[in-house]
C-alpha cells in the first residue's frame, strides 16, 4: 500500500499554520491550528475532520510543501468520518469502478488527451486546437479505464484512490504516449501532486490542459482575433493541487484579448463552486452552499464580468445556470479559445 509522505516535524516547525488559518470555511486561529494538525497526524479526532469542506485549498496554502488535505482525508476514512451520507458515497464508488472488462489498448506513440470520465464532453475538444492529438476517455460501455479517481477525496475514501489509480496509470502507459494532456485539473493533480505525495510512479509526462491550450494558441497566433470580453474565471478546487499552472489562465486571456476582471474571490482567494458542500451531511449544508454561490456570483457581477469561464464540468454543472440567470454567460475555456481562432462552438451565437 502506498503511504502518504507527511512530515509532522514540518508542521511543528511552521510559524504561520496557514493551511488552516487561511481556510475560507472554518474560523481557525493560529493557536488552534497548532493544536489541531498534530492531533490529526496522530490519528486523534478533530473538529477539522468533521467540518472540512473538501475544497483542497490547504494543499496550496501549506508553506512547507506538506500535504494537509491528503492527511485530513486519510484520517477521515481511518476514523469512519463521512463528509457526505454513506449511501451517496457507496453509489459514487460503485459508479467509477474501472477494469470490469480488460480494455483493448492501441499503441499511439504520440500525444494523447485524457478526457477521463467525461466522454460526453468530446464536443469541447474539436477543431484546430486539437489537431494531431488522440483523445482517450471512458468508452460507450462506461468502462472507467482513464478516470483518475481523485474525486473520492471529496468522499473521505482515500483507499479507493490508492487501490485503483496505479492500474489507471498502467493502462494509460500501455498506449506508449509521448505526453498525456489532462483535460481536468484533477487528473493532472493526481499524476503530479497525489502520486508524488504517495510514492506512486508515473511513467509518462503529464501536461496541464491550459499549458497545452496556451502553446497551441501561440502556434496559431496569426489566426487569433481578440475577443474583447470581460471574464471571471471559476477556479476549480483541484486547481489547488497545481497552483503553478494557474498562471496560464492569465496568459491565455492576454493572448486572446480577454480581460480578467478584478474581483475579491480570485486566484488564491477563489471560492469553490460549493458543489461538494451541497451534498455534505452537516446541518444546513445546502444553505451554506447557496450562500457561498451567491457571494461568488455577486462578486463576478460587481466586477463587471460578461462571461464566466469554466474548465471543471462539475463546476459548470453547479454554477453555470446560476451565473446565466445573473446575466453572465458561462463558457468552457476550450470553447473560449476556439472562438478566438474563428470557430463557433455549439450553442454560442
According to the model, what pLDDT value does residue 105 have? 79
Where in the chain do CATH 3.40.50.1860 domains reside?
212-340
Which cell numbers in the block locate residue 188? 493532472
CA atoms of 87 and 96, how far apart (whole Å): 15
Contacts of 46 (CB under 8 A, 6+ apart): 36, 39, 40
According to the model, what pLDDT value does residue 114 have? 94
pLDDT tens-place string over residues 119-130: 778 888 999 999
CA atoms of 309 and 221, how far apart (whole Å): 21
According to the model, what pLDDT value does residue 226 have? 97
pLDDT at residue 144 tops 80: no
307-321: burial string, b at 16+ Cβ within 10 Å, e else: bbbbbbbbbbebbbe
pLDDT at residue 142 tops 60: no
> Helices marked H in 57-199 — which ranges?
57-61, 68-78, 86-95, 158-173, 185-189, 195-198
Mean predicted confidence (pLDDT) in 290-301? 95
Mean predicted confidence (pLDDT) in 285-299? 91
Q: Which CATH number does 212-340 carry?
A: 3.40.50.1860
Domain range 111-209, CATH class: alpha beta
Task: Give Cα 10 distance to the centre of its chain.
Answer: 26
pLDDT tens-place string over residues 214-228: 999 999 999 999 999
Say what percent of the chain tops pLDDT 70. 96
3-state helix, strand, coil in the chain (%, to 5): 50, 10, 40
Which cell numbers in the block locate residue 233? 474565471
According to the model, what pLDDT value does residue 283 have? 67
Mean predicted confidence (pLDDT) in 36-63? 93
Cβ distance 61 to 19 under 8 Å?
yes
CA atoms of 152 and 52, how far apart (whole Å): 14
According to the model, what pLDDT value does residue 50 have? 94
pLDDT tens-place string over residues 240-267: 999 999 999 999 999 999 999 999 999 9
According to the model, what pLDDT value does residue 245 have? 96
Amino acid at each position: 500500500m502506498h503511504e502518504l509522505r507527511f512530515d509532522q516535524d514540518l508542521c511543528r516547525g511552521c510559524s504561520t499554520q496557514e493551511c488552516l488559518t487561511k481556510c475560507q470555511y472554518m474560523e481557525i486561529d493560529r493557536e488552534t491550528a497548532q493544536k489541531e494538525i498534530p492531533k490529526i497526524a496522530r490519528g486523534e479526532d478533530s473538529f477539522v475532520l468533521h467540518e472540512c469542506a473538501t475544497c483542497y485549498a490547504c494543499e496550496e496554502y501549506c508553506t512547507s510543501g506538506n500535504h494537509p488535505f491528503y492527511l485530513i482525508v486519510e484520517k477521515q476514512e481511518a476514523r469512519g468520518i463521512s463528509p457526505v451520507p454513506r449511501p451517496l458515497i457507496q453509489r459514487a464508488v460503485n459508479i467509477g469502478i474501472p477494469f470490469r472488462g480488460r480494455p483493448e489498448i492501441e499503441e499511439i506513440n504520440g500525444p494523447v488527451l485524457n478526457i477521463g470520465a467525461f466522454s460526453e464532453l468530446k464536443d469541447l475538444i474539436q477543431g484546430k486546437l486539437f489537431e494531431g492529438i488522440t483523445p482517450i476517455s471512458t468508452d460507450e460501455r462506461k468502462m472507467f479505464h482513464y478516470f483518475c479517481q481523485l474525486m473520492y477525496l471529496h468522499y473521505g475514501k482515500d483507499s479507493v484512490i490508492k487501490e485503483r489509480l496505479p492500474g489507471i496509470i498502467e493502462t494509460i502507459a500501455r498506449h506508449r504516449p509521448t505526453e498525456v494532456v489532462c483535460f481536468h485539473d484533477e487528473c493532472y493533480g493526481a499524476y503530479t501532486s497525489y502520486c508524488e505525495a504517495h510514492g506512486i510512479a508515473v511513467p509518462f509526462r503529464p501536461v496541464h490542459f491550459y499549458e497545452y491550450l496556451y502553446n497551441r494558441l501561440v502556434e496559431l497566433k496569426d489566426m487569433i482575433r481578440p475577443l474583447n470580453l470581460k471574464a471571471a474565471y471559476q477556479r476549480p478546487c483541484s486547481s489547488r493541487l497545481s497552483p503553478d499552472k494557474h498562471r496560464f489562465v492569465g496568459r491565455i486571456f492576454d493572448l486572446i484579448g480577454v480581460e480578467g476582471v478584478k474581483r475579491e474571490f480570485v486566484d488564491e482567494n477563489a471560492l469553490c463552486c460549493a458543489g461538494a458542500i451541497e451534498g455534505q451531511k452537516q446541518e444546513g449544508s445546502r444553505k451554506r452552499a447557496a450562500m457561498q454561490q451567491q457571494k461568488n456570483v455577486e462578486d463576478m457581477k460587481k466586477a463587471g464580468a460578461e462571461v464566466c469561464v469554466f474548465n471543471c464540468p462539475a463546476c459548470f454543472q453547479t454554477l453555470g445556470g446560476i451565473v446565466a440567470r445573473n446575466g453572465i454567460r458561462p463558457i468552457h475555456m476550450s470553447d473560449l479559445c476556439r472562438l478566438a481562432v474563428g470557430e463557433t462552438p455549439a450553442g454560442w451565437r
